[in-house]
Amino acid sequence: MHSSKVIPSASKNRQLRLDGWGFVDEHFAASPELLAWLTERLGQPEPFPSFDDSAFDPAATADGQGPAALPELGCATSNAPLDRLAHARGRGFPDLVRLRSGTVPRLPDAVARPVDDGELEALLATGDREGLCLIPWGGGTSVTGGVNPPADAAPVVTVDLAGFSGLHQLDEISGLATLGAGTTGPALEAALQTQGWTLGHFPQSWELSTLGGWIATRSAGQESLGMGRIEDLVAGLDLTAPAGRMSLPALPASAAGPDLRQLVLGSEGRFGIITRATMRVRRLPASQRVEAALVPDWASGVAAARALVQGGVPLQLLRLSDAFETQVAMTVGLGRSRFATLVRGWLKLRGIGDQACLMLLGASGSHRHADATLEAARTVTRPHGSVWLGAGPGRHWLADRFRHPYLRDSLFDVGFGTETLETAVPWSGVDRLYQAVSQALAEPGGDGERPTPVLCHLSHPYRDGVSLYFTVFFRCPQNPDVAVERWAVMKRRATEAIQAAGGTLSHHHGIGAWHAPWFPHEANADGWQVLRRVADTLDPHNTLNPHVLLDRTDRLEA
């Protein structure tokens, strides 16, 4: 595939779903083959309800009470019930259960929309003085409970940062672009690409999430191998907190003390609200290509991936699916047709059987550079038994990569739940962590339930380690409380397995509220206290996001 750019989505005027992922006019239906595959392993499901906004009573709210009285906030503010509901939850599994079933336990009391520094500073001063809980909102795509109003909080105001958006300055000599933190992925790339530049940061939530959200959660785009993670792309930023502002200039490097930019990265709104950032951008590549290969098994694939990265092959993207995830992809993509039988027979002759693992490899730059990179990848993977499939699977993946989250909604419709979690670990610990987490997630979720299918892929590789991304499927109970409880048991079990196996709580989704009880173990007690004191300095009255990062309360079932 040869492509000069990623085409930004025209998302400005599209309506967002209240009870699911993304836009109301976008769908990704579960194929008959996938539904048959799941039913064979899990049993027949029962459809899970969808939220009916036409039945939503504008005189009431999902939490059973009207909004609290609030002081003047100094900016545009809404307490309309549907607006509050639209800002009440992120997009994790329990969020969608609560939204679809109409059992959201707490709505924000208002949604504030500041449009400049003065309005934001006035809002933070009021919140600090009046004892409000302020929750920053970018795209609302959190899957860690980060934007959910805590039930035990004071009056809650969600701070929608859409007013802080747009390209402010492009320094083409230095390759630096200054943008508002509320700029969504498509708007950011559209502004840059019209002038021949790209940030190249494409998380799966790209169409909906914002620059500020990427920085606040220490995000990694799908092409992080070549482009770097978000912390590699941030050159400078501005942070506004109740106690004041930090304006950190854009510098290529500095030995002037600890890097405060790294302190803000991953702070999830707890230290302050990111308003703008200066990012390291690149010229649009002449070519972008993603090709695919199959390797005989997971061990061979992991060894090949490590050889590629440690050998310095300049790939843009590298992704390895385990046998289960590959089987799902092959079932959905090839089905059970005569052609599929012929393809599988040909692969078997090449030494690729039921344990085969699919590898995607991407390269970009000049056409010559992309060709040379992929040829080098073929050379490195050949001793590991790779069979090259060409660009077809890569084109398919590129076309659908931002649509994959919509599949969760179509599975909900028929009664299957699905959730993901991710971590990272040194190469020497990959097998131990893979086995431990797979076993923890595979345990049946309840009486009469069958073992849970667990899929995994390796992505975001580094010289010293790699991220593992797990996906699970299960029958979703129709009772929302039972459904959330089943998920919470699975989440606790997997989180404990990750930490016991030496992995990180999160590679790119952040800590939020749901990982926070386990965070002191990873940060260690003294490190956690350092962060606690930073929060106390910048936000002395716990006004901003008090339930994330440093809160030890288990909120998985809230």
DSSP of 69-107? P----SSEEE--HHHHHHTS--SSHHHHHHHHHT--S--
Is residue 271 in some structural domain? yes
User: Residue 375 has what pLDDT?
Assistant: 98
Q: Are residues 448 and 488 in the same domain?
A: yes
Q: Which position has the token pair 């610990």?
A: 429
CATH of residue 291: 3.30.70.3450
User: Mean pLDDT over residues 469-477, rounded?
Assistant: 96
Mean pLDDT, range 105-117, rounded to an integer = 96
Q: Is residue 50 part of a domain?
A: no
Q: Note whether residue 63 is domain-resident.
A: no
**pLDDT on residue 51:** 81
Pair 127, 265 in one domain: yes
**Confidence band, pLDDT 50/70/90 cuts, at residue 338:** very low
Instruction: Please give the Cα distance from 160 to 121 (Å, whole number).
Output: 14
Rounded to an integer, the average pLDDT of 380-409 is 93
- 191 pLDDT tier (thresholds 50, 70, 90): very high
CA atoms within 13 A on the CB side of 260: 16
The backbone region for 542, taken as left when phi is positive above 0, alpha when psi lies in -120 to 50, beta otherwise, is: left
Q: Does the pLDDT at position 58 exceed 70?
A: no
Identify whether residues 349 and 473 lie together within a single domain.
no
Is 46 among the domain residues? Answer: no
Q: How confident is the model at residue 52 (pLDDT cuts 50, 70, 90)?
A: confident
Q: Is 70 exceeded by the pLDDT of residue 556?
A: yes
Q: Which residue type sits at 464?
A: D
Higher pLDDT, 54 or 246: 246
Tell me: do 298 and 415 sit in the same domain: no
Strand partners, 179: 167, 277
| DSSP letters for 471-501 | EEEEEPPSSHHHHHHHHHHHHHHHHHHHHHT
**CATH code of the domain containing 444:** 3.30.300.330
Residue 424 lies in a domain: yes
Are 276 and 160 members of one domain?
Answer: yes
Q: Counting Cβ atoms within 10 Å, is residue 224 exposed (0-12), middle (13-18) or buried (19+)?
A: buried
How far apart, in whole angstroms, are the C-alpha atoms of residue 235 and residue 250? 5
Cβ neighbours of 530 (radius 10 Å): 11
Q: Mean pLDDT over all residues of the chain?
A: 92
- The total of other beta-carbon atoms located within 10 Å of residue 466's CB is 24
Residue 529: how many CB atoms within 10 A of its CB? Answer: 13
Mean pLDDT of 286-294: 94
Predicted pLDDT at 333: 53
If asked whether residues 90 and 220 sit together in one domain, one would say yes
Give the per-residue SS3 of 17-46: CCCCCCECCCCCCCCHHHHHHHHHHHCCCC
For 254: left if phi > 0, alpha if psi spans -120 to 50, otherwise beta; the answer is: beta
Residue 475 lies in a domain: yes
- Residue type (1 letter), 84: R
Q: How far is CA 244 from CA 121, 127, 226, 286, in A?
A: 8, 14, 36, 44
What is the span of the domain harbouring residue 475? 406-508
pLDDT tens digits, 363-380: 999 999 999 999 999 999
Of 344, 365, 400, the residue that ends a domain is 400
Report, in angstroms and rounded to the nearest whole number, the Rg of the chain calculated over CA atoms: 23
Task: Give percent of the chain with pLDDT exceeding 90.
Answer: 85
Question: Are 484 and 359 in a shared domain?
Answer: no
- 235 and 130 inside one domain: yes
Q: Residue 188 to residues 13, 109, 130, 364: CA-CA distances in angstroms?
A: 16, 30, 35, 20
CATH code where residue 135 lies: 3.30.465.10
Q: Is residue 523 within a helix (H) or strand (E), and if so which, with residue range?
A: helix 519-523
Pairing of strands 416-426, 465-475: antiparallel
Structure tokens at 242: 């109740």
Q: Does residue 134 share a domain with residue 270?
A: yes
Residue 527: predicted pLDDT: 97
Domain's final residue, options 374, 400, 426: 400
Residue of 364, 282, 402, 276 whose CA lies nearest to 7: 402
Tell me how far apart the alpha carbons of residues 530 and 534 are, in angstroms, rounded to a whole number: 6
Q: Is the pLDDT of residue 534 over 80?
A: yes
**Each residue's pLDDT tens digit, 226-279:** 999 999 999 999 999 999 999 999 999 999 999 999 999 999 999 999 999 999
Q: Binning pLDDT at 50, 70 and 90, where does residue 157 land?
A: very high
362 and 280, same structural domain? no
Q: Is residue 9 part of a domain?
A: no
Using the predicted structure, report yes or no on whether residue 343 has a pLDDT greater than 90.
Answer: no
Under the banding of pLDDT at 50, 70 and 90, the label for residue 328 is confident
Give the Cα separation of 437 and 191 in Å (integer). Answer: 41
Dist. CA 525–CA 527, nearest whole Å: 6
Question: Of 351, 382, 400, which marks where a domain is finished?
Answer: 400
Q: How many domains does the chain contain in total?
A: 3
In a domain, 11, yes or no: no
Q: Is the dihedral of CA 310, 315, 319, 320 positive or negative?
A: negative
Q: What does the pLDDT read at residue 339?
A: 41
How many percent of the chain have pLDDT more than 70? 92
Mean pLDDT to the nearest integer, 413-423: 96
**196 plus 305 within the same structural domain:** no
CA distance 27 to 323: 27
- pLDDT for residue 147 is more than 90: yes
Check residues 51 and 44 and name the one with the higher pLDDT: 44
Q: Helix, strand, or coil here: 284?
A: coil
CB-CB contact of 93 with 411 (8 Å): no
Structure confidence at residue 439 (pLDDT): 97
Same domain, 239 and 272: yes
